[in-house]
Chain A
Amino acid sequence: MASSLMRLVIDSATEYLYLALYENLQKRDSVYLKGDNNHSETLMVELKRLLEQQGVRPQNLDEIYVGVGPGSYTGVRIGVVVAKILAYSLNIPVYTISSLTLLASSEKSLLIVPYIDARRGYVFASVMRCQEGILTTVNDDAYCNFEELKATVDGTYICAGEPDFAVIYRSQLFVRVDNLHHLAPVYLRKTEAETNLNKG
């Protein structure tokens, strides 16, 4: 029965920790837990519990999907590291997903603006269209001023919501990682730090 794929989805880039176990596109179980900068403490505990409750051993996993940001600088790294270690030790493929796209998959309205607070009036955001359960990207992930964004884009703004991996999968909004060494978080904000540095 090798036709059934056991998929683990991880995203720790937002305020919420998201873990889901899918058998093909059927959700077996998931965790969507609000944290306070403590995903590093909860991720492994929750992951172990999720797998044990489903009677799934790490060796049974076939694929890993991981949210790579943008989002929390410390948070996103934890999920990426865990995905990397699992994929490496189990010798299974990893696929990356934008954490904003994951957020968008929780919403069904036509024009969706998923956003993650980036402090001091800034957010990470993208614009997605959702039609017949398929998500498409209208505007790529960006670091932008929240007020300016709201003034220019009229859509359903969401900053929390449990992702729906089946939507992501059907929309083909994931990228296979060919070389595990290249798996890294997306930090859109680097540019701002560099700007400040250049200002002196």
Chain B
Amino acid sequence: MKMTKTIYTLAEMEEFARAVAQTLFPGFVLCLSGDLGAGKTTFTQFLGKAMGINEVITSPTFTILKTYKSALDLHHIDAYRLEGVYQDESLEEVIFSHGVTVIEWYEHLLGSLPKDYLSIEIETRDSTTRVLHLEGRGKYGIIVNALSD
């Protein structure tokens, strides 16, 4: 299941993140892609806020993983520095755990992903306009459906 959605402002991005937060379940895996500065971390910050996380979410580019405690834990992975790694067992255990995992630059970790996941490619059009390309594999198909209206 695929869907494209255009976001015109930062506020709309927050609204979209709130809609995604409504669909989360334990073990949810969300893969984000898009150029540097596309808004992957920004989206994750909005998602965390919608999940009730008050802590400031920062880009884990250097630590690779940061976990935020919540009703559903949020595991935020930035795989930017893992180019060519393909698979990492310790991260894989986080990805397959009961929390919600958001992975920026997931293309670098394809060998550690589950069969089903939601992916969002954020395409930059101008300073605040973003085109989101959503794809829901397997059980995430209905989520893309739900987000399209």
Which of A's residues lie within 8 Å of B, judged by CB?
Answer: 36-37, 72-75, 119-120, 187, 189, 193, 196-197
Contacts and interface: CB of A to CB of B under 8 A. Distances in A.
28 contacts: A36-B97, A36-B98, A37-B93, A37-B94, A37-B97, A72-B93, A73-B89, A73-B90, A73-B92, A73-B93, A74-B89, A74-B90, A74-B93, A75-B93, A119-B92, A119-B96, A119-B114, A120-B114, A120-B115, A187-B89, A189-B89, A193-B87, A193-B89, A193-B111, A196-B86, A196-B87, A196-B111, A197-B86
B18 to A, nearest CB: 26
Interface of B: 86-87, 89-90, 92-94, 96-98, 111, 114-115
Contacts of A74: 89-90, 93
A78 B96 CA distance: 19
Contacts of B90: 73-74
A78 B114 CA distance: 25
A75 B94 CA distance: 11
Nearest to A196: B111
A23 to B, nearest CB: 35
Contacts of A189: 89
A36 B94 CA distance: 9
